[in-house]
Amino acid sequence: MKKETTTRLNKFIASSGFCSRRKADEYIEGGLVKVNGKVISELGFQVSKKDKVMVEGKLIKPESLTYIRYYKPAGYITTASDENGRKTIYDALPDEVKSLRPVGRLDKDSTGLLIMTNDGDLINRLSHPALKVPKVYRVCAEGKLNLNDLEVMERGIEIEEGKIAYAYAQIIEFEGRNSVLEVVLYQGLNRQIRKMLDFLGHPVISLKRMSVGPIDLSGLKKGQFKYLKPKQIQELKNYLGKLEKLEENKLSK
Protein backbone atom coordinates (compact mmCIF):
# COMPACT_ATOMS: atom_id res chain seq x y z
CA MET A 1 0.00 0.00 0.00
CA LYS A 2 1.39 3.40 -1.05
CA LYS A 3 2.33 5.62 1.89
CA GLU A 4 0.51 8.97 2.08
CA THR A 5 2.80 11.91 1.21
CA THR A 6 3.16 14.33 4.09
CA THR A 7 4.63 17.80 4.56
CA ARG A 8 5.50 20.02 7.51
CA LEU A 9 2.52 21.92 8.86
CA ASN A 10 4.08 25.37 8.38
CA LYS A 11 4.91 24.62 4.74
CA PHE A 12 1.38 23.28 4.19
CA ILE A 13 -0.08 26.55 5.51
CA ALA A 14 2.35 28.72 3.51
CA SER A 15 1.59 26.85 0.30
CA SER A 16 -1.99 28.06 0.52
CA GLY A 17 -0.83 31.66 0.20
CA PHE A 18 -2.32 32.35 3.66
CA CYS A 19 1.01 33.55 5.10
CA SER A 20 4.74 32.88 5.16
CA ARG A 21 6.30 29.87 6.88
CA ARG A 22 7.63 32.07 9.67
CA LYS A 23 4.19 33.54 10.27
CA ALA A 24 2.73 30.01 10.18
CA ASP A 25 5.19 29.04 12.94
CA GLU A 26 3.83 31.93 15.03
CA TYR A 27 0.27 30.72 14.52
CA ILE A 28 1.28 27.18 15.48
CA GLU A 29 3.18 28.25 18.60
CA GLY A 30 0.26 30.50 19.56
CA GLY A 31 -2.14 27.55 19.58
CA LEU A 32 -4.14 28.98 16.67
CA VAL A 33 -3.79 25.98 14.34
CA LYS A 34 -6.00 22.89 14.41
CA VAL A 35 -5.49 19.66 12.48
CA ASN A 36 -8.60 17.48 12.30
CA GLY A 37 -10.11 19.46 15.17
CA LYS A 38 -7.08 19.16 17.48
CA VAL A 39 -4.84 22.09 18.41
CA ILE A 40 -1.29 21.46 17.19
CA SER A 41 1.65 23.37 18.70
CA GLU A 42 4.46 21.16 17.38
CA LEU A 43 6.42 23.01 14.65
CA GLY A 44 7.58 19.84 12.90
CA PHE A 45 4.13 18.27 12.77
CA GLN A 46 3.45 16.46 9.48
CA VAL A 47 0.17 16.63 7.58
CA SER A 48 -1.21 15.21 4.34
CA LYS A 49 -3.78 16.47 1.82
CA LYS A 50 -6.44 14.37 3.60
CA ASP A 51 -6.01 16.31 6.86
CA LYS A 52 -8.31 19.22 7.72
CA VAL A 53 -6.10 22.17 8.68
CA MET A 54 -7.58 25.35 10.13
CA VAL A 55 -5.87 28.61 11.16
CA GLU A 56 -7.92 30.90 13.39
CA GLY A 57 -11.00 29.02 12.23
CA LYS A 58 -10.22 29.39 8.51
CA LEU A 59 -9.87 26.23 6.43
CA ILE A 60 -6.51 26.03 4.66
CA LYS A 61 -6.38 24.66 1.12
CA PRO A 62 -2.97 24.56 -0.55
CA GLU A 63 -2.94 26.03 -4.05
CA SER A 64 -1.03 24.89 -7.06
CA LEU A 65 1.96 27.23 -6.90
CA THR A 66 2.62 29.44 -9.92
CA TYR A 67 5.58 31.70 -10.67
CA ILE A 68 6.00 34.18 -13.52
CA ARG A 69 8.42 36.82 -14.77
CA TYR A 70 6.62 39.93 -16.01
CA TYR A 71 8.13 42.84 -17.95
CA LYS A 72 6.13 45.74 -16.55
CA PRO A 73 5.56 48.59 -19.02
CA ALA A 74 5.38 52.24 -17.98
CA GLY A 75 2.01 53.75 -17.09
CA TYR A 76 0.81 51.06 -14.66
CA ILE A 77 0.97 50.96 -10.87
CA THR A 78 1.83 47.76 -9.01
CA THR A 79 -1.35 47.24 -6.98
CA ALA A 80 -4.59 45.30 -7.42
CA SER A 81 -6.74 48.45 -7.50
CA ASP A 82 -6.40 52.22 -7.21
CA GLU A 83 -8.85 54.64 -5.63
CA ASN A 84 -7.74 57.35 -8.06
CA GLY A 85 -8.63 55.24 -11.08
CA ARG A 86 -5.09 54.78 -12.35
CA LYS A 87 -4.30 51.74 -14.48
CA THR A 88 -2.76 48.81 -12.60
CA ILE A 89 -0.68 45.86 -13.81
CA TYR A 90 -3.83 43.74 -13.41
CA ASP A 91 -5.50 45.77 -16.18
CA ALA A 92 -2.70 44.62 -18.50
CA LEU A 93 -2.31 41.01 -17.35
CA PRO A 94 -4.52 38.14 -18.62
CA ASP A 95 -7.01 36.44 -16.29
CA GLU A 96 -4.88 33.31 -15.91
CA VAL A 97 -2.31 35.16 -13.76
CA LYS A 98 -4.46 37.83 -12.08
CA SER A 99 -4.49 35.86 -8.81
CA LEU A 100 -0.70 36.24 -8.45
CA ARG A 101 0.96 38.83 -6.25
CA PRO A 102 4.06 40.83 -7.17
CA VAL A 103 7.25 40.61 -5.13
CA GLY A 104 7.91 44.27 -4.36
CA ARG A 105 6.78 47.16 -6.52
CA LEU A 106 7.78 49.34 -9.42
CA ASP A 107 6.33 52.86 -9.55
CA LYS A 108 4.04 54.00 -12.37
CA ASP A 109 6.78 55.43 -14.59
CA SER A 110 9.27 52.58 -14.08
CA THR A 111 9.56 49.47 -16.22
CA GLY A 112 11.17 46.07 -15.92
CA LEU A 113 11.10 42.85 -14.00
CA LEU A 114 8.39 41.82 -11.58
CA ILE A 115 8.39 38.32 -10.13
CA MET A 116 4.78 37.34 -9.41
CA THR A 117 3.51 34.28 -7.55
CA ASN A 118 0.90 32.86 -5.17
CA ASP A 119 3.70 31.36 -3.04
CA GLY A 120 3.42 33.43 0.14
CA ASP A 121 6.53 31.86 1.61
CA LEU A 122 8.68 32.81 -1.40
CA ILE A 123 7.32 36.37 -1.40
CA ASN A 124 8.29 36.74 2.24
CA ARG A 125 11.78 35.29 1.68
CA LEU A 126 12.48 37.50 -1.34
CA SER A 127 11.22 40.59 0.50
CA HIS A 128 12.91 39.96 3.85
CA PRO A 129 15.24 42.92 4.54
CA ALA A 130 17.81 40.78 6.37
CA LEU A 131 18.54 38.68 3.27
CA LYS A 132 19.48 41.69 1.11
CA VAL A 133 18.45 40.14 -2.21
CA PRO A 134 20.15 42.29 -4.90
CA LYS A 135 17.97 44.10 -7.42
CA VAL A 136 19.72 45.54 -10.48
CA TYR A 137 18.44 48.58 -12.39
CA ARG A 138 19.37 50.39 -15.59
CA VAL A 139 18.88 54.11 -15.00
CA CYS A 140 19.19 57.14 -17.24
CA ALA A 141 19.60 60.35 -15.24
CA GLU A 142 19.89 64.02 -16.19
CA GLY A 143 23.38 65.48 -16.26
CA LYS A 144 26.75 63.87 -15.85
CA LEU A 145 27.32 62.09 -12.55
CA ASN A 146 30.86 61.65 -11.26
CA LEU A 147 32.67 59.30 -8.90
CA ASN A 148 31.90 61.52 -5.92
CA ASP A 149 28.16 61.16 -6.63
CA LEU A 150 28.53 57.37 -6.69
CA GLU A 151 30.43 57.42 -3.38
CA VAL A 152 27.66 59.52 -1.79
CA MET A 153 25.08 56.96 -2.94
CA GLU A 154 27.13 54.14 -1.45
CA ARG A 155 27.64 55.96 1.89
CA GLY A 156 23.92 56.66 2.13
CA ILE A 157 21.45 59.50 1.59
CA GLU A 158 18.65 60.49 3.94
CA ILE A 159 15.70 60.45 1.53
CA GLU A 160 13.13 60.93 4.29
CA GLU A 161 13.46 61.81 7.96
CA GLY A 162 15.12 58.81 9.62
CA LYS A 163 15.34 56.82 6.37
CA ILE A 164 18.84 56.32 4.95
CA ALA A 165 19.00 54.86 1.44
CA TYR A 166 22.07 53.08 0.09
CA ALA A 167 22.91 52.04 -3.46
CA TYR A 168 25.88 50.72 -5.38
CA ALA A 169 26.13 52.39 -8.78
CA GLN A 170 28.48 52.57 -11.71
CA ILE A 171 28.43 54.74 -14.80
CA ILE A 172 27.85 52.67 -17.93
CA GLU A 173 28.04 55.50 -20.46
CA PHE A 174 27.11 59.09 -21.17
CA GLU A 175 24.33 59.81 -23.66
CA GLY A 176 24.75 63.42 -24.68
CA ARG A 177 24.37 65.38 -21.45
CA ASN A 178 22.83 62.48 -19.55
CA SER A 179 24.27 59.52 -17.59
CA VAL A 180 23.37 55.85 -17.92
CA LEU A 181 23.93 53.92 -14.69
CA GLU A 182 23.73 50.41 -13.38
CA VAL A 183 22.34 50.62 -9.85
CA VAL A 184 22.20 47.74 -7.36
CA LEU A 185 19.83 47.94 -4.38
CA TYR A 186 19.68 45.71 -1.33
CA GLN A 187 16.82 47.73 0.21
CA GLY A 188 13.25 48.26 -0.89
CA LEU A 189 12.40 51.84 0.05
CA ASN A 190 9.66 53.69 -1.86
CA ARG A 191 11.01 55.45 -5.00
CA GLN A 192 14.48 55.02 -3.54
CA ILE A 193 16.60 55.56 -6.67
CA ARG A 194 14.53 58.52 -7.83
CA LYS A 195 14.82 60.25 -4.44
CA MET A 196 18.56 59.60 -4.20
CA LEU A 197 19.25 61.03 -7.65
CA ASP A 198 16.92 63.99 -7.00
CA PHE A 199 19.04 64.73 -3.91
CA LEU A 200 22.18 64.73 -6.07
CA GLY A 201 20.56 67.04 -8.62
CA HIS A 202 20.29 64.40 -11.34
CA PRO A 203 16.58 63.53 -11.79
CA VAL A 204 15.71 60.15 -13.30
CA ILE A 205 14.70 60.14 -16.96
CA SER A 206 14.04 56.40 -17.17
CA LEU A 207 14.37 53.46 -14.80
CA LYS A 208 14.20 49.75 -15.62
CA ARG A 209 14.65 46.82 -13.23
CA MET A 210 16.85 44.26 -14.92
CA SER A 211 17.02 41.45 -12.35
CA VAL A 212 16.07 40.22 -8.88
CA GLY A 213 18.63 37.77 -7.54
CA PRO A 214 19.25 35.16 -10.28
CA ILE A 215 16.04 35.97 -12.22
CA ASP A 216 16.28 38.51 -15.04
CA LEU A 217 14.42 39.94 -18.03
CA SER A 218 16.13 37.84 -20.70
CA GLY A 219 13.76 36.69 -23.45
CA LEU A 220 10.93 39.02 -22.39
CA LYS A 221 9.40 41.86 -24.38
CA LYS A 222 7.75 44.83 -22.68
CA GLY A 223 4.30 43.84 -21.41
CA GLN A 224 5.04 40.11 -21.76
CA PHE A 225 5.14 37.44 -19.06
CA LYS A 226 6.57 33.94 -18.94
CA TYR A 227 6.15 31.15 -16.43
CA LEU A 228 9.30 30.30 -14.51
CA LYS A 229 10.64 26.89 -15.45
CA PRO A 230 11.14 24.32 -12.65
CA LYS A 231 14.90 24.78 -13.05
CA GLN A 232 14.57 28.55 -12.53
CA ILE A 233 12.33 28.10 -9.49
CA GLN A 234 14.82 25.69 -7.92
CA GLU A 235 17.71 28.02 -8.73
CA LEU A 236 15.89 30.89 -7.03
CA LYS A 237 15.09 28.82 -3.92
CA ASN A 238 18.67 27.53 -3.71
CA TYR A 239 19.93 31.10 -4.01
CA LEU A 240 17.68 32.24 -1.15
CA GLY A 241 18.75 29.23 0.91
CA LYS A 242 22.39 30.33 0.59
CA LEU A 243 21.54 33.88 1.65
CA GLU A 244 19.59 32.55 4.65
CA LYS A 245 22.52 30.36 5.67
CA LEU A 246 24.88 33.34 5.48
CA GLU A 247 22.50 35.35 7.67
CA GLU A 248 22.25 32.51 10.20
CA ASN A 249 26.06 32.29 10.35
CA LYS A 250 26.29 36.04 11.02
CA LEU A 251 23.77 35.82 13.85
CA SER A 252 25.51 32.83 15.43
CA LYS A 253 28.87 34.62 15.71
Q: What is the CATH number of the domain that holds 26?
A: 3.10.290.10
Tell me, yes or no, whether 196 and 80 share the same domain: no
Tell me, yes or no, whether 179 and 145 share the same domain: yes
Active-site residue identified among 25, 91, 95, 107: 107
Strands (E), 51-190: 53-55, 58-59, 67-72, 101-102, 111-117, 135-141, 157-160, 163-165, 168-175, 178-185
CATH number of the domain that residue 163 is part of = 3.30.70.1560
Tell me, yes or no, whether 99 and 221 share the same domain: yes
Decide if 107 is catalytic.
yes
Q: pLDDT class for 135, splitting at 50, 70, 90?
A: very high
Inter-CA distances, 156 with 25, 127, 149, 196, Å: 35, 21, 11, 9
| Alpha-carbon radius of gyration of the chain | 21
Tell me, yes or no, whether 35 and 140 share the same domain: no
How many folded domains does the chain comprise? 3
So what's the pLDDT on residue 216?
A: 97
Boundaries of domain holding 25: 7-59
CATH number of the domain that residue 89 is part of = 3.30.70.580
Inter-CA distances, 12 with 36, 55, 77, 208, 226, Å: 14, 11, 32, 35, 26
So what's the pLDDT on residue 2?
A: 47
**Any domain includes 229:** yes
Inter-CA distances, 217 with 71, 107, 141, Å: 7, 17, 21
**Any domain includes 204:** yes
**Any domain includes 111:** yes
Q: pLDDT class for 4, splitting at 50, 70, 90?
A: low
Tell me, yes or no, whether 206 and 140 share the same domain: yes
**Any domain includes 2:** no
The whole model's pTM is what? Answer: 0.81
pLDDT higher than 80, residue 67: yes
Tell me, yes or no, whether 23 and 37 share the same domain: yes
